[in-house]
């Protein structure tokens, strides 16, 4: 009898080895532990499913529609008569062969680079200032930054239009009082450089709080012992920043710069509300150019194609930035 039981147990072990299971299976032939593991592995994907569905509906579908529209010749006639006239790659060929598109692209890249550099430099300086101020002054400056950051874009743009108004603007009045009388009735949106100056001041002013407050929050995570050790070694302010603050907060700088490039590149309401890309379309960036061609000139297929090319240019810029960042990190790892 014992021999028979031993043989039955050996047969069960062999069957379990062949099926890849052990222990007592459930009713469905799957061990309870296996079902629990699969359930735990599927939980993150189930939690992400609503966000993925919302992204597919509100972002993916409009992108697909925009892509289809970019291959069509859709003007007011086709829109009213509900006609679909396919043009193939004609819109892209016309845009890429246009000198205007390349001028606007170069202008957009330069505009983005100037704004991002100013935002990062000034934001870092204000963030470091916050870390050095006392509690009351830090609270006052933080509240002011939050209020500036919370102001709606159109409201902020309207305020800047009042400030730089040629007849009643505060800026011209102050400059006139300071003895610069030629600026008493100066038209700030009359030339390309002056218009870009106003837009740059607006965008930098609106973006500084994000960088400054995040940098200050990041500095609170740096151990104070590192600063004390640097001071004991005789390091000055600049040396402390380059040796302690910047290396420790390198991920913050990389991520913030990446976000600022995206936000400044796609800036639309500030530029459009100030002067609608004028004068003479000399301050148009790619988002303004796409809107003007698509909605302003009623060339909807052309505007869709420009918007997709704008995304391609932005992806190329961010890919180049990430490539430089990864290469720099690899060189540092090799040096270590």
Place of tokens 């916050």: 130
Q: pLDDT tens, 103-149?
A: 999 999 999 999 999 999 999 999 989 988 888 999 999 999 999 99
Distance (Å, whole) CA 163 – CA 67: 41
For residue 230, give Cα distances in angstroms to 74, 98, 135, 215, 235: 65, 56, 24, 20, 5
Q: Other C-beta atoms within 10 Å of 169: how many? A: 19
Give the model's pLDDT for residue 33. 60
What are the residues facing 86 on neighbouring strands? 72
Q: Are the C-beta atoms of 305 and 70 separated by less than 8 Å?
A: yes
Tokens of 183: 């600026």
Neighbouring residues of 302: CB distance < 8 A, sequence distance ≥ 6: 91, 94, 95, 293, 294
**Which stretches in the chain have pLDDT values below 50?**
1-6, 8-9, 12, 15-17, 19-28
Q: Is 152 left (phi over 0), alpha (psi -120 to 50) or beta?
A: beta
All domains of the chain in start order, with CATH:
94-335 (1.10.3720.10)
**121, containing H or E segment:** helix 99-132
Name 292's Cβ contacts closer than 8 Å, sequence gap at least 6. 277, 281, 284
pLDDT attached to residue 335: 58
* Model pLDDT, residue 227: 80
Distance CA 73, CA 221 (A): 55
Residue 145, Cβ density class (10 Å: 0-12 exposed, 13-18 middle, ≥19 buried): buried
Residue 16 confidence (pLDDT):
47
H-type alpha helices, 20-75: 32-55, 61-70
This prediction has a pTM of 0.79
């Amino acid at each position: 009898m014992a021999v028979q039981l031993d043989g039955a147990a050996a047969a069960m072990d062999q069957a379990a080895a062949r099926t890849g299971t052990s222990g007592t299976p459930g009713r469905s032939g799957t061990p309870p532990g296996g079902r629990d593991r699969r359930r735990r592995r599927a939980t993150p994907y189930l939690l992400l499913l609503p966000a993925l569905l919302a992204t597919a509906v509100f972002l993916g579908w409009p992108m697909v529609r925009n892509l289809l529209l970019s291959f069509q010749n859709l003007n007011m006639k086709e829109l009213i008569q509900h006609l679909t006239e396919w043009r193939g790659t004609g819109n892209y060929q016309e845009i890429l062969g246009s000198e205007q598109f390349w001028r606007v692209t170069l202008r957009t890249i330069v505009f983005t680079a100037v704004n991002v550099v100013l935002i990062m430099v000034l934001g870092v300086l204000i963030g470091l200032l916050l870390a050095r101020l006392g509690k009351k002054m830090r609270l006052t400056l933080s509240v002011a930054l939050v209020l500036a950051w919370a102001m709606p874009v159109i409201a902020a743009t309207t305020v800047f239009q009042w400030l730089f108004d040629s007849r009643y603007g505060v800026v011209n009045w102050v400059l006139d009082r300071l003895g610069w009388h030629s600026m008493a009735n100066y038209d700030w949106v009359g030339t390309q450089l002056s218009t870009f100056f106003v837009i740059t001041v607006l965008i930098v002013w609106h973006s500084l709080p994000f960088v400054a407050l995040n940098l200050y929050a990041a500095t609170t995570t740096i151990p104070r012992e590192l600063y004390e050790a640097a001071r004991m070694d005789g390091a000055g302010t600049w040396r402390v920043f380059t040796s302690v603050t910047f290396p420790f907060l390198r991920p913050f700088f990389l991520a913030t710069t990446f976000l600022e490039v995206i936000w400044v590149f796609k800036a639309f309401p500030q530029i459009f509300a100030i002067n609608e890309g004028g004068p003479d379309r000399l301050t148009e960036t790619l988002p303004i150019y796409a809107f003007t061609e698509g909605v302003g000139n009623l060339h909807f297929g052309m505007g869709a194609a420009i918007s997709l090319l704008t995304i391609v240019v932005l992806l190329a810029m961010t890919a180049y930035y990430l490539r430089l960042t990864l290469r720099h990190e690899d060189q540092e790892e090799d040096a270590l």
